[in-house]
Each structure stands twice: as structure tokens, then as C-alpha cells.
A = this chain, B = another copy of it.
Amino acid sequence: MYRMKTYAIASIFYFLLLLPATSVPAVTDSLPSWNDGPSRQAITAFVQAVTDKSSPDYVPPSGRIAVFDNDGTLWSEQPAYFQLFFAMDRVREMAKDHPEWKHQQPFQAALEGDMKALAASGKEGLIELVMTTHAGMTTDEFAEIVKKWLQTAKHPTLHKPYTQLVFKPMLELLDYLRANGFKTFIVSGGGIEFMRPWTEEVYGIPPEQVVGSSIVTKFEMRDGKPVLIREAKLNFIDDKAGKPVGINQHIGRRPIFAFGNSDGDLQMLQYTTLAGGGKRFAGIVHHTDGDREFDYDRDSHMGRLDKALTEAEVHDWTVVDMKMEWKVIYP
């Protein structure tokens, strides 16, 4: 009798133990692609401090807001932002209805894959390229175009689908933060509607937690159906000083954790860490691995990391040495 009772109670306790065991993150196994270097240590120390109820740095779950840049922080951005390759592929697809593009910039450059000529078309050329390829359809239609593109498109030099060029260590970091009660957001200079069709599947970040640049949309009844038309007009640029503005507009509170990789993220890192009180974390992905990914910082034409690298030293921000600290780059 006694033995059975013990067994019964033990069974119940064992069952009780099983439940929390699956939801409490095992810290030592949470970031397997990170070497046990200074960045990993800084991240886990921060997360432990703000999630430990007995810690003076404890932050309740509602305040655990983490923001991530996308290009160069969650996926690669060389030799050009992937959204530019999307625009160029769109030009190729649309070209059959525009024979004049063969001799007209910036379209000719896009058709020929001539990055130099494209750059030479300047800011106006790029805006024309983006507006031509990103506007003039409904938001639902655009989301479908992006999804279809991702299913077939491949990176021009790495020859892989773009969604496979995301950083495995950063996917683990997103999971680790969420397992610790953080709400994770993307705050990117990229197009908000270019990212939303795939961020949930690839990063586990739903559309409403994606902040980005946008063009104007307009409500319209089309054949009795309510739609939003994408217009060829800039609405908001979510870059540099625009990032804190976008964060405030969409999230409405100051994050306590931010990760970027370039000077475009400087103000977001400042906004997150230099005010608001309590413990705060700023991280920078430093592209030091020319063999496995790319190697660039202060002189890069894209994802340039100069002022933010200098300021990281002043404020003791965490700079991730990709080559030294990441066991693998891509999944």
C-alpha cells in the first residue's frame, strides 16, 4: 500500500516537473551557434539580470522589448540589399511590357545587372526603380509578388534562396529572448511590406512586430471590394534618426535591447541605451568574416559601420566579431 501511494505521488510530481521543464530555457543550450566569447556572455548576463525577480535590474515581461535591424543584422546585405535584387528581378519580369527600358536608365542597368551604372543613376534613379517595381498594385497583390519571388529567386553570387541567408546565431538569439519573455521586433530601413510576408515564418516575428520604410497607401473600393492601393510616393524612411521615430510610432515605448550592424542603427542604439533608466543592451554585428560571409565596416558603401563602431567603444556596447564568435553563419 505504502509503496503504491509513494509511486502515485511520485508520478504526479514527476508530471508536474515535466511541465515547466519544457518552458524554462536551458541557458547553456540556447545559443549553440555562439562560441562562449564576450558577446554570448554579455547577452546571457543581461537576460539573466532583467528576468531574475530577485535582481535589482528585473524588468517585468511587458517591458521586455527587443528591436533588431534586418539587413546585415538578421540576414546578409552584400553585395547589395536583397530588396534591390528583388527590384531588379521585377524589372526583368516587367520588361516585356516596356521595350523602351533596354535603352533607359535606371532600367537598362537593372536589366543588365550593371551595379555600377545603377549606382550612377543616383538616389533619384533608385527611387524611380523602387516606385516602378513596388507601387501600382494592392497591398495583397504586392505580398503575393514578394512571396512568389522568395520561392524561386537566388542570391547572385552565393546561389542560395535569400531566406537561407539569415544568420543562424541570430535566429537562436531571437528564440532565446522570446523564451525569456521578450517581445521581438524588426526595425529596418527596408520596406515594411517587403518584409512582412515572410518574417513570421523565417524569424518568428509576426507582421505587426515589423517596423520599416513605407510608401503611401490609399483605401479604395474596387469592384465592391475594399483594397489598399500602393502609390508611387514615399511615406516614411525608417533609417538613422527615423528609427527611434518608427519605434515610437509603432511600439510606443523605449526598447531595452537593440541589435544593429551599421551607422543606420546608431540612433536606435542610442535611443535604447542612453536613456530610460535600468539595465539596457546594445549589440552590433561586425562583419569580419570574408571567408564565410563578407568582411566590411568603416569604408563600405552598404551597411557602413563607422560612427556606431566608435560610439560602441565609448558606451561599452557589445560588438560581435562574426569570425571569432559565430560557429556557423547560415542555417
Which chain B residues border A267 with CB–CB below 8 Å?
219, 226
Q: Does A218 lie at the interface of the complex (its beta carbon under 8 Å from any beta carbon of B)?
A: yes
Query: Please, could you name 28 A-B residue pairs with CB atoms under 8 Å apart, sorted by A?
Result: A4-B4, A4-B5, A5-B8, A8-B11, A8-B12, A62-B200, A62-B206, A183-B208, A192-B249, A193-B252, A207-B251, A208-B208, A208-B250, A208-B251, A208-B252, A210-B252, A217-B245, A217-B248, A219-B244, A219-B267, A219-B271, A224-B274, A225-B274, A225-B275, A226-B267, A226-B270, A226-B275, A250-B250
* B244-A228 in contact (CB<8A): yes
What 1/0 mask marks residues of chain A from 250 to 291 whose CB sits below 8 Å from any chain B CB?
A: 111100000000000001001100110000000000000000
Which chain B residues border A251 with CB–CB below 8 Å?
207-208
Residue on B nearest A65 in the bound complex, by CB: B208
* A253-B219 in contact (CB<8A): no
Residue on B nearest A275 in the bound complex, by CB: B225
Residue on B nearest A185 in the bound complex, by CB: B208
A207-B251, A219-B271 are known; give 5 further A-B pairs, CB within 8 A. A12-B12, A183-B208, A196-B253, A208-B209, A219-B241
Consensus secondary structure, chain A interface: helix
Which chain B residues border A227 with CB–CB below 8 Å?
275
Q: Does A139 lie at the interface of the complex (its beta carbon under 8 Å from any beta carbon of B)?
A: yes
Which chain B residues border A200 with CB–CB below 8 Å?
62
Residue on B nearest A196 in the bound complex, by CB: B252
Q: How far is the CB of A175 from chain B (nearest CB, A)?
A: 17
Which chain B residues border A228 with CB–CB below 8 Å?
244-245, 248
Q: Does A45 lie at the interface of the complex (its beta carbon under 8 Å from any beta carbon of B)?
A: no
Q: How far is it, in angstroms, between the C-alpha of A214 and the C-alpha of B7 when the chains are bound?
A: 62
Which chain B residues border A249 with CB–CB below 8 Å?
192, 214, 217
Q: How far is it, in angstroms, between the C-alpha of A206 and the C-alpha of B208 when the chains are bound?
A: 13
Residue on B nearest A183 in the bound complex, by CB: B208
* B206-A219 in contact (CB<8A): no
Which chain B residues border A209 with CB–CB below 8 Å?
208
What 1/0 mask marks residues of chain A from 181 to 215 whose CB sits below 8 Å from any chain B CB?
A: 00100000000110010001000001111100010
Residue on B nearest A15 in the bound complex, by CB: B12
Q: Which of A1, A221, A226 has the most chain B CB within a 10 Å cutoff? A: A226
Q: How far is it, in angstroms, between the C-alpha of A32 and the C-alpha of B129 when the chains are bound?
A: 56
Q: How far is it, in angstroms, between the C-alpha of A73 and the C-alpha of B21 when the chains are bound?
A: 43
Which chain B residues border A241 with CB–CB below 8 Å?
218-219
Q: How far is the CB of A297 from chain B (nearest CB, A)?
A: 23
Which chain B residues border A275 with CB–CB below 8 Å?
225-227
Q: How far is it, in angstroms, between the C-alpha of A20 and the C-alpha of B115 when the chains are bound?
A: 58
Q: Which of A210, A219, A221 has the most chain B CB within a 10 Å cutoff? A: A219
A8: which of B8, B196, B210, B217 is its contact (CB, 8 Å)? B8
A248: which of B7, B139, B250 is its contact (CB, 8 Å)? B139
Q: How far is the CB of A176 from chain B (nearest CB, A)?
A: 21
* A4-B8 in contact (CB<8A): yes
Which chain B residues border A196 with CB–CB below 8 Å?
252-253
Residue on B nearest A200 in the bound complex, by CB: B62
Which chain B residues border A208 with CB–CB below 8 Å?
65, 183, 208-209, 250-253
Q: How far is it, in angstroms, between the C-alpha of A73 and the C-alpha of B228 when the chains are bound?
A: 25
